[in-house]
Chain A
């Protein structure tokens, strides 16, 4: 046993201090480039396709036509909206895994308005009603785990996760209730003739309202988290509950309030999904985005503006992957692999930004300190 030998390890990993912004972004770009190279090697060795051509196809898939570009934007806004919902909760170190369910209940609320309010209110009045109903539905779905966490210290990860399954079952129930045609187990396009409760096209584009709503949210959440008293409270509670208590912050109140806000924004995402995109409701209305967004929120470190970039990247990868699968008649697996590799490298790059790797001194030419 040479326990006390203290031989210096080959690598030493230490937390790096301040990293200039440019350097951090340079590291991320290098990571992206490396990811593309590794994916290219894999694409070439497995499916024998020209990787540049495949990347070109991915680009086509996301931006190839005007319509595709708008669909890419629409889906980016959707992902971004959920990310904005998660940000306050995550910043408070409250692991809200329940965005999927919060989006779904918001979607159910919107669909219910579209179905039960037709012929009762005007088509312009229904949109604000749907907005509020979806927000409230999401807020309730966020309040429940927030309340139990604050009151009884329940595990919020499990609680919010379980709430997803309840929301999914609830959605199945409403799909069966509203199915169209009868017996098909799908709701189909709601109000396809009258377009009641649909976002009106602005400048001839169907998805402009989605963009406006989400961009307003981006700015609001940024200001709320960084420049408001409540945002500060969230940060303190997240860093240390004891400190927060010592400062006189009502921790329970902050937890519940933040989860209500988090759920409400996810509810708005449900409103966007139903009124602004799908015009239908199904268990796949949230489509796993509630989970995908966790990556977005984390990679962006809860900065809403950076979230725009990462949402766009993820949607781009998804659209690109689908196009590869369709164009080259591949299964989705190859394209999913590419997406996986790129995400892996980008997540990995955070390690090199946050930590410094020092080589054993003997091998290192320069003598430090």
Chain B
């Protein structure tokens, strides 16, 4: 019996020592990252790249960063955020929109820890000081990718290969982040092909390769010749490549990652976020003990967005057109949501309240339009352009 107790004692001791060793870290600062999927999703891969980029620039060790993978947008996010705080994280960043309410709940309990819900849109109205949101100017890269698509569409129309400038878009959920993105994409196309029109098909999931593929096929069968996407898998580009291989005229504009690997001839480009442009300053501020701004958003001017390498079948002159547009965005001469460029129900928009304070999902404060220009991601970091403009049809989602 004594022997048994001795063995047990040693075992417990061994476990404790192992435990303490694992907790030890050379530096004080600790960063926790909550990802909705893992590296298999282009969106999360872009975030991981962003974190690793910041790690390199700021000289953080691997022990200082704790990743939590495949955390759904449910109470699991709260549990994991709390767990990261308990492990001594000073800054915790989640990467998906639906994580935010759970992050805010955890933030209330850990006032000394900063919680950043990337892509979230509620930090500005939270009473807590330790919460923040950030979001790159994705609408800029979407507009530029739209220009690439527009050039191709014009080439197809000019050569007679296509009669109807019909564009499709595979979207995840019907709310501002997606609406802002597809509208910027569409305006990019329309800057080249003014008569273009677009259908949007929703999948109601951020990551569902099968549903995204099916949505793309549905759009192709309706006659779409270029299909953009705001969903995180390669489902749509793969389906588009298959359709193109079978003889259809159809091209893909992706998101997050270059789609050339899955759609070597169908991919024109992808709109991409360079998250390290947001992670690095945020983490740096937190490391120095400075307050992290409640909303932080940058774009082309700060290298926060880009488009993926152009595919082999882009129209001639695309690279030059892209460079000119990017230059215009950076110097401010090109305003993507210029109200002169779109109408809603046939009318030009003169006012739009972007922020909602009473929880009815309708803006009641925050004028987004100044001097005829709708400024996106200026009042808060997350996109708020949720107008359904003329020329775009949202197909009924089941």
Please report A residues at the B interface, Cβ cutoff 8 Å. Answer: 52-53, 55-57, 59-60, 64-68, 71, 180-186, 188-189, 192, 277-280, 282, 284-285, 325-327, 329, 331-332
- Is B245's CB within 8 Å of the partner chain A? no
B14 on the A face (CB < 8 A):
yes
13 A-B contacts (beta carbon < 8 Å): A57-B18, A65-B86, A65-B87, A67-B83, A184-B97, A184-B98, A188-B101, A189-B78, A192-B105, A278-B75, A278-B78, A282-B73, A326-B69
Query: Cβ of B231 < 8 Å from any Cβ of A?
Result: no
- By a CB distance below 8 angstroms, the chain A residues around B38 are 331
B62-85 Cβ-contact flags toward A at 8 Å (1 or 0): 000011111011111011001100
| Extra 6 A-B pairs, beta carbons < 8 Å, given A53-B18, A71-B83 | A56-B18, A67-B82, A180-B101, A188-B100, A192-B108, A285-B74
B105 touches A189 (CB 8 A): yes
Knowing A184-B175, A278-B74 are in contact, say whether A326-B14 is a contact too (CB < 8 A).
Answer: no
Residue of B nearest to A172 (CB): B204
Query: What's the least CB distance linking A333 to chain B, in Å?
Result: 12
Taken residue by residue from 103 to 136, chain B's Cβ proximity to chain A (1 for < 8 Å, 0 otherwise) reads as 0110010000000000001100000000000000
Contacts of A325 in B (CB 8 A): 69
CB distance from A158 to the nearest CB of B (A): 27
CB-CB under 8 A for A185 and B204, given A53-B18, A192-B104, A279-B105 = yes
Min C-beta distance of B127 to chain A, whole Å: 9
| B19, CB-defined interface residue at 8 Å | yes
Q: Specify the chain A residue showing the minimal Cβ separation from B359.
A: A180
Q: Point out the residues of chain B lying under 8 angstroms from A331, CB to CB.
A: 38
On chain A, the residues within 8 Å of B73 by CB distance are 184, 186, 282
Known: A180-B101, A189-B102, A192-B104. Contact between A284 and B74, CB under 8 A?
Answer: yes
B104 touches A189 (CB 8 A): yes
In the bound complex, how far is the Cα of B16 from the Cα of A53, in angstroms?
10
B174 contacts the other chain (CB 8 A): yes
Q: In B1-22, which residues have CB < 8 Å from any A CB? A: 14-15, 18-19, 22
- Nearest CB of A to B208, in Å: 12
- Contacting pair B173 A185 (CB below 8 A): yes
Inter-chain CA distance A331–B83, complex, in Å, is 19
Q: Which of B70, B83, B108 has the most CB of A within 10 A?
A: B83
Using a CB–CB distance below 8 Å, which chain B residues touch chain A? 14-15, 18-19, 22, 38, 66-70, 72-76, 78-79, 82-83, 86-87, 97-98, 100-102, 104-105, 108, 121-122, 173-176, 178, 204, 361
Residues of A within 8 A of B204 (CB): 185
CA distance A189 to B107 in the complex (A): 13
A186 and B67 form a contact (CB under 8 A): no
Known: A67-B83, A192-B104, A192-B105. A279 touches B19 (CB 8 A): no
Contacts of B68 in A (CB 8 A): 326
Point out the residue from B79, B82, B98, B361 that lies within 8 Å of A182, measured CB to CB. B361
- Kindly state the separation between the CA atoms of A182 and B66 in the bound complex, as whole angstroms: 31
A183 and B15: CB pair below 8 A? no
CB pair B175–A183 under 8 Å, yes or no, is yes
Q: A56-B15, A186-B73, A284-B72 are in contact. Are A68 and B101 (CB under 8 A)?
A: no
Question: Chain B contacts of A282 at CB under 8 A?
Answer: 72-74
A277 to B14 alpha-carbon distance, docked (Å):
33
> Which chain A residues lie closer than 8 Å to B75 at the CB level?
277-280
- Cβ contacts under 8 Å, B174 to chain A: 183
| 8 closest residue pairs by CB, A with B | A183-B175, A278-B75, A56-B18, A188-B101, A182-B361, A189-B101, A186-B98, A65-B86
| B22 A326 Cβ-Cβ under 8 A | no
Contact between A55 and B15, CB atoms less than 8 A apart? yes
In the assembly, what is the distance between CA of A277 and CA of B105, in Å?
A: 12
The CA of A245 and the CA of B218, in the complex, are separated in Å by 59
Instruction: Please state if B105 and A56 are interface contacts (CB–CB under 8 Å).
Output: no
Out of B22, B98, B361, name the residue touching A56 (CB < 8 Å): B22
Nearest opposing residue in chain A for B11, CB measure: A52
With A189-B104, A278-B75 as known contacts, state yes or no: A181 contacts B121, CB within 8 Å.
yes
What CA separation (Å) do A284 and B69 show in the bound complex? 17
Q: Is the CB of A181 within 8 A of B361?
A: yes
Q: List residues of chain B with CB within 8 A of the CB of A192.
A: 101, 104-105, 108
Do B87 and A188 touch across chains, with their CB atoms under 8 A apart? no
Residues on A with C-beta less than 8 A from B22 are 53, 56-57, 60, 327
Q: Give Cα A278–Cα B73 distance, bound, in whole angstroms.
A: 11
Which residue of chain B has its CB nearest to the CB of A66? B86
How distant is the Cα of A59 from the Cα of B15 in the complex, in angstroms?
A: 8
Q: In angstroms, how far is the closest chain A Cβ from the Cβ of B30?
A: 13
- Asked, given contacts A52-B14, A68-B86, A327-B22, whether A183 binds B173 with beta carbons under 8 Å apart, the answer is yes
Kindly provide the distance from the CB of A280 to the nearest chain B CB, expressed in whole angstroms: 6
Report B251 CB to chain A, min CB distance, Å: 28
Q: How far is the CB of A342 from chain B (nearest CB, A)?
A: 17
Cα A192 to Cα B126 with chains together (Å): 11
Cα–Cα, bound, A332→B74 (Å): 19
In the bound complex, residues from chain B placing their C-beta under 8 Å from that of A181 are 121-122, 175, 361
What is the chain B residue whose CB lies nearest that of A71?
Answer: B79
Q: How far is the CA of A71 from the CA of B22 in the complex (A)?
A: 21
CA distance A184 to B204 in the complex (A): 9
> In the complex the two chains form, is A184's CB within 8 Å of B173's CB?
yes
Residues from chain A with Cβ under 8 Å of B70 in the complex: 332
Bound: A282/B75 CA distance, A: 9
Most chain A CB within a 10 A radius of its CB, from B82, B86, B98 = B98
- Enumerate chain A residues within 8 angstroms of B87, measured Cβ to Cβ: 65
Q: CB-nearest residue of chain B relative to A183?
A: B175
- Across the interface, name the chain A residue whose C-beta is closest to B386: A183
Residues of B within 8 A of A184 (CB): 73, 97-98, 173, 175
Assess whether A326 is in contact with B86, with CB atoms less than 8 Å apart. no
Q: Which residue of B lies closest to A182 (CB)?
A: B361
Chain B residues whose CB sits within 8 angstroms of the CB of A56 once the complex forms: 14-15, 18-19, 22
Contacts of B69 in A (CB 8 A): 325-326
Q: How far is the CA of A280 from the CA of B15 in the complex (A)?
A: 36
Rounded to whole Å, the gap between the CB of B290 and the closest CB of chain A is 27
> Among the listed A64, A71, A182, A329, which residue makes an inter-chain contact with B19, where contact means beta carbons less than 8 Å apart?
A64
Q: Is B19 a contact partner of A60 (Cβ separation < 8 A)?
A: yes
